[in-house]
Amino acid sequence: MICCIEQFIYKSPTLMRIRLLTRRDASASLLAVGTFLTVLFLSAGVAVNAQQQLSKRYPGGKNVRVELRNISGTIVVESWNKNEIRLTATIESKNAHVVPKQINECLVVDVMGDNRGRGDVGDINFKLQVPANSSVDVETRRGNISVSNIRSGLVRAHVSSEGDIELTNISATHVVAQNVIGNIFFDGEFSSGGTYEFKSTKGDITIRIPGNSAFRLIAASPTKQIKLNDFWNNGFKTQDGRKYVGDVGDGRSSVSVTNFSGSITFLRK
Amino acid sequence: MNCEQCQELIHDLIDGSLSQRDESTLNTHLEACLDCDSVRQDLSSIVTYCQMHRGEYEAPPNEQALWLRIRNVIEAETGGRRRAAAQTDTRRPSFVGRLMGHTWELSLAQLASLTAAVVLLVSLTTVIGLRRWGGETVRVAPAYTSNVNDRVWQRNQVINYWNQRVELNKARWSPEMRETFDRNMRVIDEAVANSLNELNRNPHDEVSEQMLNESLNDKLALLKEFSDL
């Protein structure tokens, strides 16, 4: 069928002109598309260049502490086997300032303070690699927080508004995880004498701990979605299933879980 | 504002840690209520006295020995007279009679010493008492009896203040940040409303009361944290 049409076109002079015109149009179209793609590519290049990358290393010590106050963006904290802190940040806006300060063994990154009065500074995504025994205190107005493989005195993750919090392989004396909208997941151990606080307004809270954990629990959720699973015992006092108070084992650590409209689930490792 | 709420805030007023609005409300009540004003004056004078005389009074190295010396001096001065009186009056009146009938004759120096000792004793007792029990005795017991609506109203006054601050800054935020804030505020407002509804149904429900308090605190925290942006 195509061959027939081509033969027909070649035989007709009028159609030959049309065909030539069509070829010229095609070349013009190709040129236009090429130009468009070039412009698009260059724009993308400019957009990529607009993002700043920050990467710095700081010496560690015996009692390393990391404090990070972000406005918007993700925060990832993980341990590594070096005695130093590595901070990597992807900064969306050119207007944003990130000025980490090291005071003794404490690294402070205060995006809020560094950018006061600058208006919107966009997302800043942080990745921190720290010694495993570091105390970690991080917060953001908006964005996810992930902390993993930390064994220290403190792990605090605070999202002022919405963002998931994931704390994996944590063994700390004091743990605080709080957000308004978003899930909270804790996987770790409760140390003897430690305090653990998990709080969300709208999201699911999941706590995964060893079966031999000993703690005093106060768990409250008006939606009655509290599942203690293997950690439930007859000693628990409950108010209509909305609040549970009781000891698991000898109650050596103190655990408080509050969720306004979501579930609270305890899982055994 | 009632008297209980007023007396709870008087400490903060004297410390100067009240917001302008709270201070104004409190002063309005104090102008109208003599009892509360009297409490404010008492507390204020105690605090001022302690601030003025901080570090002035230190306990003597051996307080008991000092008192023994004072007593010996007084007894030595008066002992001779008592013995002479006992020799002239052979009757033994009762203790009360002796006390009532006793006349004290002190020289100016003795009177001054006695007065100084009494002042020292009172000051020491006051300072030690304030240091040891100041928190419990001076502080007015919190009013646990105020009802939920009053507390919510009070909390909302503070929330309104921070809300105004947030509204002033909101124009500077990105559209995404504004949406995030509004969405989260709606979620917290929902939690507050649910707790209040539950409390209206069952006014003594502890879980709802806890949830109400916590959600109001969360709302305040959200406002404060976003007011900085």
- Annotate A120-133 with DSSP letters as a single string: ----EEEEEEE-TT
Contact B222 A160 (CB under 8 A): yes
pLDDT at A204: 97
DSSP state of B203: T
Facing B211 at nearest CB: one of A72, A141, A260: A260
Contact by Cβ (8 Å): A127, A76: yes
B220 interface with A at CB cutoff 8 Å: no
- pLDDT, tens only, A53-68: 999 999 988 789 999 9
pLDDT at B37: 81
How many angstroms separate the CA atoms of A68 and A74, rounded?
11
Facing B184 at nearest CB: one of A120, A161, A199: A161
Would you place residue A17 in the very low, low, confident or very high pLDDT band (cuts 50, 70, 90)?
very low
pLDDT at B216: 93
pLDDT at A118: 81
Give the B window 171-200 contacts with A, CB below 8 Å.
Answer: 172-174, 177, 180-181, 183-184, 187-188, 190-191, 194-195, 198
pLDDT at A147 over 90: yes
pLDDT at B221: 93
Measured in angstroms, the CA of B184 and the nearest CA of chain A are apart by 6
Closest CA relative to residue A71, chosen from A56, A86, A85, A89: A89
In chain B, which stretches have pLDDT less than 50?
A: 135-145
Tally Cβ neighbours within 10 Å of residue A113.
13
- pLDDT, tens only, A37-46: 555 444 444 4
pLDDT at A213 over 60: yes
Contact B228 A116 (CB under 8 A): yes
- Of A5-9, A179-183, A197-201, the one with minimum mean pLDDT is A5-9
* pLDDT higher at A97 or B67: A97
In chain A, what residues touch B221 (CB-CB under 8 Å)?
Answer: 160
Contact B188 A201 (CB under 8 A): yes
How many angstroms separate the CA atoms of A46 and B72, rounded?
96
Contact B207 A260 (CB under 8 A): no
Would you place residue A21 in the very low, low, confident or very high pLDDT band (cuts 50, 70, 90)?
very low
**Average pLDDT for chain A:** 86
pLDDT at B38: 79
How far lies A67's CA from each of A58, A70, A100, A113, A134, in Å?
14, 10, 10, 13, 10
Closest CA relative to residue B222, chosen from B166, B138, B150, B146: B166
Contact by Cβ (8 Å): A54, A88: yes
| Amino acid at position B207, single letter | V
pTM of the predicted model as reported, rounded to 2 decimal places: 0.63
- Arithmetic mean of pLDDT, A12-30: 49
In chain A, what residues touch B223 (CB-CB under 8 Å)?
Answer: none
B7 interface with A at CB cutoff 8 Å: no
Residue ranges in B16-107 assigned as alpha helix (H): 20-32, 34-52, 63-88, 95-101
Burial degree of B125 (CB within 10 A; 0-12, 13-18, 19+): exposed
In chain A, what residues touch B178 (CB-CB under 8 Å)?
Answer: none
Contact A222 B222 (CB under 8 A): no
pLDDT at A11: 43
Give the A window 186-245 contacts with B, CB below 8 Å.
Answer: 199, 201-202, 220, 222, 239-240, 242-243
B18 interface with A at CB cutoff 8 Å: no
- pLDDT, tens only, B52-104: 666 665 556 666 777 777 777 777 776 666 666 666 555 555 665 565 656 66
Predicted ipTM? 0.77
Q: Are strands A65-72 and A165-178 parallel, antiparallel or unpaired?
A: unpaired
Contact A160 B195 (CB under 8 A): no
Give the pair of three-digit tokens for residue B25. 């409300």
The share of chain A scoring above pLDDT 70, in percent, equals 81
B162 interface with A at CB cutoff 8 Å: no
Q: Are strands A106-110 and A215-220 parallel, antiparallel or unpaired?
A: unpaired
Tally Cβ neighbours within 10 Å of residue B201.
9
Would you place residue A6 in the very low, low, confident or very high pLDDT band (cuts 50, 70, 90)?
very low
Contact A180 B225 (CB under 8 A): no
pLDDT at B187: 95
pLDDT at A33 over 80: no
Contact A202 B187 (CB under 8 A): yes
pLDDT at A20: 41
pLDDT at A19: 46
How many angstroms separate the CA atoms of A259 and A178, rounded?
10
Facing A260 at nearest CB: one of B173, B215, B226: B215
How many angstroms separate the CA atoms of A258 and A256, rounded?
7
